[in-house]
Amino acid sequence: MPLCTSNLSADRVLDVCLSISICYNLYTMTLGEIPAGLRPHFQEYDSARLDLERDATLIIQRTLEYGTWDEVRWLFGTYSRARIRAFVRERGERMLSRVTFTYWRKLLGVRRWRRSPFPTAAGEVWDR
């Protein structure tokens, strides 16, 4: 039965897609490196020097914001769902666009999150 016509929850669909993608990730990508498709989103960094543990916040942010589905699958294969969910809960409102934050917050079931200390989102101050 196709996932789109089943009665699976969004969490279960995401889990199934992520499990299928683990083999794909191991086959197509070198461990310890970000996918080639994400490198343009790290222009200000030397991609060879990015460390998956040290730079996890940056990598998670850029992948959630700009990544394709294959790159998002790589992200969930590289970092635990709990770690990505913690990023969305703790830093998502400040580091992701409003649309991206809302999308991942709902998909990951984040109901409570750290609110930004600023009353308006970045860029909105100048539009008034």
SS3 string, 57-70, reads HHHHHHHHHHCCHH
Can you give the pLDDT at residue 118?
A: 65
Question: Is there a contact between 104 and 92 (Cβ–Cβ < 8 Å)?
Answer: yes
The one-letter amino acid code at 90 reads E
Question: Which of 128, 1, 69, 45 lies closest to 57, judged by CA?
Answer: 45
Can you give the pLDDT at residue 97?
A: 92
Question: Which of 95, 36, 28, 24 lies closest to 64, judged by CA?
Answer: 95
Question: Is there a contact between 96 and 64 (Cβ–Cβ < 8 Å)?
Answer: yes
Distance (Å, whole) CA 128 – CA 124: 7
Per-residue pLDDT of the chain in tens (128 residues, 90 and over written 9): 444 445 666 666 666 655 655 544 444 444 468 898 999 899 898 888 889 999 999 999 999 999 999 999 999 999 999 999 999 999 998 899 999 999 999 999 999 888 776 665 555 555 54
Q: Sort 29 into a burial class: Cβ within 10 Å, 0-12 / 13-18 / 19+.
A: middle
Single pTM value for the model: 0.69
Q: Tokens standing for 100? A: 């991206």
Can you give the pLDDT at residue 88?
A: 93
Can you give the pLDDT at residue 19?
A: 60
